[in-house]
Structure 1
Amino acid sequence: MPPKKVVAEKKAMLGRPSNNLQIGIVGMPNVGKSSLFNIMSRCDLGKVANFPYATIEPEEARVSVPDERFDWLVDLYKPKSVVPAFLTCVDIAGLTKGASTGAGLGNNFLANVRAVDGIFQVIRAFDDAEVIHVEGDVDPVRDMSIISQELRLKDAEWVEKKADALKKTLRGATGTANLRDKALKEEYDTVCKVLELLQADKDVRKGTWSNKEIDVINDLMLLTAKPVTYLVNLSERDYIRKKNKWLPKIKAWIDENAPGDLLIPFSVALEERLAMEFADDAAGLKGELEKIGTQSQIGKIMKIGYQSLNLIHYFTCGPDEVRAWTIRSGLPAPKAAGVIHTDFEKNFVCGEIMQFSDLQEYKSESAVKAAGKQQQKGKTYEVLDGDICYWKAG
């Protein structure tokens, strides 16, 4: 007999199993969080002010994620309506030392961070006597250490309570090896393993976990399990000349404490100026960027944030509408179809799928079909980023 085919277990992902995820803008007070939020959302929801806690209640906005493929499809189909991919961004109140014990707006802040799925951590690396710093002076490495420590302390507090509750439940177990008691013991062991990691000053997202352990961790909704992208806010001058005394120290801190996390230097001052001076002047904006020899980073920040949450999108196209549908990476076809309408998932028959690269090469759907490049896919097909999909449902 031929050997049985070994099917590799699919690696589970940290975080909520949802297509509607949010990313929070986090940092110390007065580092540029609300200004960044305003630029991203093209509005003035975030309250910009030169004092701590200018933002108290979190503000949120759906921000479009740039995609050159989407722009190309719009040019091809010239539809009546266009809907790009979106990411929900949340402007969260500034964190100060002692937040884990309730200092400042600590409890509010940490509850709001817990409610989002990923983190943009804004770090101030510019000097400005007119913009006060809650710690008295500018030191981004100190600020990063404070935020990291406060998130871990709060996680450790939550995990310790969970471990105590599980321990009490286990004491009342029957002693027989039933499935419920076994599951409780496995959950308790995982929670203890998480606590040990936190007490060793490590973030949960940097641990090595099995799929069963990830299921337990996801239920805990831990702060340090969320993906982090570090956004270093420079002065316009430092950003254009690509030089700042803090950047090497920030990079060294990330390499030591959060290896693998991304760092993106940008300048709120520059982005604000560009947004004000060239709001409806794409040609003028392009000319200004060429003149000063740099690029805006807002598009890159949005793309990286989207990818950090394991989000991708597929397209539906036609003369009425070109639309990008956001899904989690690795989603099977019926669930991907279900983001359009739940009936598509319940009554799924198949998907007619073509790859964007094929459409770009052949220039029309009819030519793609004639070349045999459009394929019919069933329930087990995992939708890929950039697929162009037409769903058939009963």
Structure 2
Amino acid sequence: MVGRIHFLSSPGLLQSFGIPTTSLLASSSFFSSLATFTPRAAWPAAFGLCPHSQERIFGVSARFYAKSRNMAPKKAVPEEKIPLGRPGNSLKSGIVGLANVGKSTLFQAITKCNLGNPANFPYATIEPEEARVIVPDDRFDWLCEKYKPKSIVPANLTVYDIAGLTRGSSTGAGLGNSFLSHIRAVDAIFQVVRSFDDAEIIHIEGDVNPTRDLDIISEELRLKDIEFVEKALENQKKKTRMGGQSLEQKKAKIEQEIIEKILTWLQDGKDVRKGTWAPKEIEVINPLFLLTAKPVVYLVNLSEKDFVRKKNKHLPKIAEWVKEHATGDPIIPISVCYEERLTRYETEAESLEEQKNVGAPSVLPKLVLQMRKTLQLGSFFTSGADEVRQWTIRVGTKAPQAAGVIHTDFEKTFIQAIVYNFSSLKELGDEAEVKAKGKMMTKGKDYVVEDGDILLIKAGAAKG
């Protein structure tokens, strides 16, 4: 048994079989014509007949399209990806490491430098251990040059200088408790690893051995996480001890199983950020604020000599350690003493001249941009004669939530956004040309804001 054949007006196809196009007017005479001109056994090959319960549609020209009556199941809508860590746009990074590895010197260099920004924006130090540093962005500089606004507000990254770690910090040794409470408050880690020799700077472990130091920090963070998770599991078991089949009890039981899975993962010597977790599991992980769930950027602190010549005896071993224990985490070689020295110049021009003479540019801009990438942060702009501002959002943020970064009421009363990308504006020169070329679009609530978008938000009046 065969399925049905439908012919849409296709004179060329009919005539190729020697069938008058008028035969199409009546299906009975049409099929009679088919039978007359072609032996029945050749029908499947000649006319594209298909198995039972399937249709073939002959369209214009000699092409045909298959359409199954038993429709293939709809593609499953993928679950929305939930990033590990605290949601939000005002995310913080912390400088972490053993004592005497260059953490505080790096912090001072970051907060004193201009980060390559020719407008010389001041940084804002909130506390001795916390600072906000400018995010270098040529797009922002271009917009400021174009509009020459009354006010300019660049994006910034909040950085903490966290208390030094020692072996045994997970059990309270040294300043361990202070270190761990501070690191729980940040969203990502700059881990400084000492890879320079200096007899005047004593290493807390007695000698310079970067891979050993990496092992110490990794182990201390993981041990503290095990302690956190064990407490969470104990509390969760209290909820499930009563038993029952209510929805609340079933949910509690599922959460307990997830916590047990996290604990096993940690006890196996693995960091949480390196696991493949389902969205429901991430919903359980995030409120725990686990230390090993935070993304890490490794900063290998070299002597100025090694940094300039781009060579250090410890680097290959460090790279191998990261490949084995933290696959995919970025490594940035840096000379903290060199970066600090560059900040002593009175002007940015003098600093740039020294970098040129030495043959080694500062890596601080790269460091800040890498951390934003690690935190999955992007930017959009609002621009005009009054103000040019760069706003920080998480990658994947939709238009209403981006509007909420400007003002919380805008998210609630969002109507639409007029959107065009910086690249279009730079290419075409002004908004009129962007609009004329069809690059300026009106977007609704489902629009995912792209990095570099320029937005004009339309929102309703907030309810009293």
TM-score normalised to the size of structure 2? 0.79
Task: Identify the residue that residue 89 of structure 1 maps to in structure 2.
Answer: 159
Could you say which residue in structure 2 is the equivalent of 1:256? 324
- What is the letter of the counterpart of residue 302 of structure 2? L
Question: In the alignment, which of 275, 278, 281 is matched to residue 348 of structure 2?
Answer: 281
Letter in 1 for 2:167: K
Matched position secondary structure for 2:449: coil
The answer to whether structure 1 residue 346 and structure 2 residue 412 are counterparts is: yes
Match of 1:53 in 2: none
**Counterpart mapping for 1:302-317 below 5 A:** 302-317=368-383
Worse-superposed segment, 242-251 or 3-12: 3-12
Q: Does 1:227 align with 2:295?
A: yes
**Structure-1 residue corresponding to 2:336:** 268
Following superposition, the deviation at residue 273 of structure 1 comes to 1.2
> Is 1:328 matched up with 2:398?
no
Q: Retained in 2: the 8 A contact 1:58–1:93?
A: no
Cα pair 1:197 1:204 within 8 Å, conserved: yes
> Which structure carries more relative contact order (alpha carbon 8 Å, separation 6+)?
1
Alpha-carbon offset, residue 5 of structure 1? 5.7
Counterpart CA distance in 2 for 1:247 and 1:329 is 32
Deviation at 1:116, TM superposition (A): 0.6
2:228 corresponds in structure 1 to 158
**Deviation by residue 1:131-167 (Cα, 9 ceiling, x = unmatched):** 1111111111111110000000000011011112212
- Give the SS at the match of 1:276: coil
Are positions 1:28 and 2:98 aligned together?
yes
Aligned mates of 2:279, 2:402 — CA distance in 1: 22
1:134-173 map, 5 Å? 134-173=204-243
Deviations 1:161-202 (A, max 9, x none): 1112212321212x22x2111111111111111111111110
**Are 1:189 and 2:264 counterparts?**
no
Residue type of the alignment partner of 1:88: T
Q: Contact between 1:58 and 1:92, CA under 8 Å: does it hold in 2?
A: no
| Equivalent residue for 2:312, pick from 241, 244, 267 | 244
Letter in 1 for 2:235: A
Runs of 4+ with deviation above 6 angstroms = none
Distance in 2 (CA, whole Å) between partners of 1:78 and 1:369 is 22
Query: What's the offset of the Cα at 1:129?
Result: 1.0
Whole-angstrom distance in 1 between the partners of 2:280 and 2:380: 29
Change (3 A) 1:31 1:311: same
| Deviation of the 1:294 alpha carbon | 1.4
Residues 214-270 of structure 1, C-alpha deviations (whole Å, 9 max, x = no match): 000001110000000000110000000000000001000000010010000010111
Alpha-carbon distance in structure 1 between the residues aligned to 2:177 and 2:357: 46
Q: Which runs of 5+ in 1 are unaligned?
A: 44-56
Partner Cα distance (2:392, 2:354) in 1: 33
C-alpha RMSD of the superposition: 1.4
Instruction: After TM superposition, give the deviation of residue 370 of structure 1 in Å.
Output: 1.3
Counterpart in the other structure of 2:33: none
Equivalent of 1:116, from 180, 186, 189? 186
Q: Check the 8 A contact 1:333/1:380 in 2, yes or no.
A: yes
Q: Partner residue of 1:372?
A: 438
Asked whether 1:210 is paired with 2:301, we answer no
Structure 2 residue runs of 5 or longer lacking an equivalent are 1-68, 114-126
Amino acid aligned to 1:281:
E
* 1:48 matched residue in structure 2: none
Mean Cα displacement is larger for which, 285-294 or 370-379? 285-294
Contact 1:58 1:90 in 2 (8 A): no
Secondary structure of residue in 2 paired with 1:338: helix
Instruction: Give the count of matched residue pairs.
Output: 377
Q: Deviations over 1:17-41 (max 9, x none)?
A: 1111100000001111111111111
Counterpart code for 2:348: D
In the other structure, the counterpart of 2:197 is 127
- In the alignment, the residues of structure 1 paired with residue 92 and residue 169 of structure 2 have an alpha-carbon distance, to the nearest angstrom, of 22
SS at match of 2:406: coil
Q: Which residue does the alignment assign to 1:99?
A: 169
Q: Distance in 1 between matches of 2:74 and 2:282?
A: 28
Deviation at 1:281, TM superposition (A): 3.4
Larger radius of gyration: 2
Question: How far apart are residue 288 of structure 1 and its match?
Answer: 2.0
Q: Distance in 2 between matches of 1:368 and 1:252?
A: 48
